[in-house]
Structure formats: structure tokens, C-alpha cells
Amino acid sequence: MAKAYSYDFRQKVMQVIELDGLKRGEASELFNISRNTINLWFQRKAETGDVQVKPRTAPNPSQKITDWEKFRAFAQEHEDKTQAEMAQLWEGDISSRTLARALQKLGLTRKKRRTGIANAMKRNEGNSNNS
């Protein structure tokens, strides 16, 4: 997110418009800010009485998986299933992407490579130019 303008700067812009009679468009050019920003500050001042920055709150995502030992046992039990199938089998409402992040958090991979690489590069013995 972009950093908010300082409170002093906001007050200065508002003072130039309200007390000095500068138009909003002229103030936006003078201070090199968007006219929409100034309009939003006036709207905030009308609603709250001040142009103070709104406090930002961190997003609080709800944890879909809380019992990690239970999830680890579930993942090992259903390791042959796809993520979509595992998401349907899990007791709560969970997406396959959330399930993938949980598996990654536990260090479990969904890629299954039981055998070596079948198409490994091989040296072509018949076309050697050693003459």
C-alpha cells in the first residue's frame, strides 16, 4: 500500500484552500497531488471534523486449519489423493489452494516422483567425430 501523506501536509493544503481561497485544482497542481485526494480530504473533514489519517488495520485471515498434527496425519493418510479430493474430504470448508499452502507449510510436496527421470539425456555413441 502507498504511504499516506503526513498530517502537517494535509493541514497545509487544506489551509491554502480554505483560508487563502485557492481553488482545489490549483492546489493540486501547486502541491503535485491528485484533485481526487483533496476531495477525499474534504469529505473526511466533513464526516469526522479532521483530515487525520485513517488507522490501518492488518487483515486477519481466519485460520482454516488449526490442529496441525491432525492435518499432518490426514495428509499422510490421503497422500494418494489430489488436492481437490483432499479438500472435499477435510472436515471443514477449505479450498484446494488453502490445502496446498498448508501442505507447503508442513514441508510436504504434492509432486510424486517414484521413479527416476525416464527421458534423461544420453550420450549419442554412434555419432562421435573422433577421427
Q: Which residue range is the domain that position 98 belongs to?
A: 68-105
* Ranges assigned E (strand) in the chain: none
Residue 62 lies in a domain: no
Residue 61 lies in a domain: no
- The model's pLDDT over 80-113, given as tens digits with 9 standing for 90+, comes to 888 888 888 888 788 888 888 888 888 887 665 5
- Rounded Cα gap, residues 98 and 48, in angstroms: 39
- Assess contact for 17 and 24: CB atoms under 8 A: yes
Residue 53 lies in a domain: no
- Rounded Cα gap, residues 41 and 10, in angstroms: 8
Residue 112 lies in a domain: no
- The model's pLDDT over 39-86, given as tens digits with 9 standing for 90+, comes to 999 999 999 999 998 887 777 666 778 888 998 899 889 888 888 888
Q: No. of H helices and E strands in the chain?
A: 6, 0
If one counts the domains in the chain, the total is: 2
Return the C-alpha cell found at 32: 503535485
| DSSP designation for 17 | H
- On whether the pTM is more than 0.85, the answer is no
| Longest Cα separation, the chain | 93
- Assess contact for 103 and 109: CB atoms under 8 A: yes
Residue 80 lies in a domain: yes
